[in-house]
Chains A and B, each alone.
Chain A
Amino acid sequence: MSGPVTIRIQEDDFDVAREIASLTAGRTDIGAVVSFSGICRGDEDSARIAALTLEHYPGMAEEEIKRHVDEATSRWPLSGVTIIHRVGRFTPGQNIVLVLTASQHRQAAFEAAEFLMDYLKTNAPFWKKQESATGAGWVEAQARDDEAAARWTRS
């Protein structure tokens, strides 16, 4: 890939506009940037969520995301990728994850962003604990997330 790859795991919030500006600074070959933000929801299956706590496996999380980025860049002509995953405790409305994909044309950027998010959800070592009125509990993995990731498997 002819472009920057930024992978950060941090407690601090991110600024989507600033990250896009940083990804495209000085570039005239980029025709498309797709931005995906994952945000803490206020309800899950009609239960109100007070907060989410994100735990990760330091070291492996960065390496696993890098492997996904390498796979994405081997499949699509990308000009740059930024992935920021926050850890810590979040209340509804707060940012959790950012994926930016840049390319000459939109299709590659759209597809690569979706691929990266699908794989992040099922393969990157992060876990969510949810606090609600009924107490706190670990969020269970969803079959629909496995199915979303599986559709990218090449036969």
Chain B
Amino acid sequence: MKLKYFAWVRERIGKAEETIEPPATVRTVEELIAWLSGRSEAYAYAFEKPKVIRAAIDHAHVRPDAAIAGAREIAFFPPMTGG
């Protein structure tokens, strides 16, 4: 699946997008955040406050307990500040 990062999440991880294949034990958005956080210090820094992070699956907002099975694109970003 493709992952996309925006704003300071993107800056902290150091890339805007990547393609990953998490292990089958990673079933939800919050489990994906925990798994990513273990990859390197950059990810751990980006996700250091997981409650602040917002997620979207295939362009729709989702909650941390949302299942990631079948997702084409998952995005992580801080609370939105447009308008």
Contacts and interface: CB of A to CB of B under 8 A. Distances in A.
Interface of A: 38, 54-57, 59-60, 63-64, 85, 96-97, 117, 120-129, 138-142, 145
A142 B79 CA distance: 9
Nearest to B56: A60
Interface stretch (B1-9, B22-30, B33-41): B1-9
A38 B78 CA distance: 21
Main secondary structure of the interface of A (DSSP, over half): mixed
Q: Which of B4, B59, B82 has the most CB of A within 10 A?
A: B82
Contacts of A57: 4, 6, 56, 59, 75, 77
Contact of A138 (B7, B59, B60, B61): B7
A85 B8 contact: no
A40 to B, nearest CB: 12
Given A38-B83, A125-B82, A128-B82, 12 more contacts: A56-B82, A57-B77, A60-B56, A63-B60, A64-B59, A85-B82, A85-B83, A123-B80, A125-B6, A126-B83, A129-B7, A138-B78
Contacts of A96: 83
A15 to B, nearest CB: 20
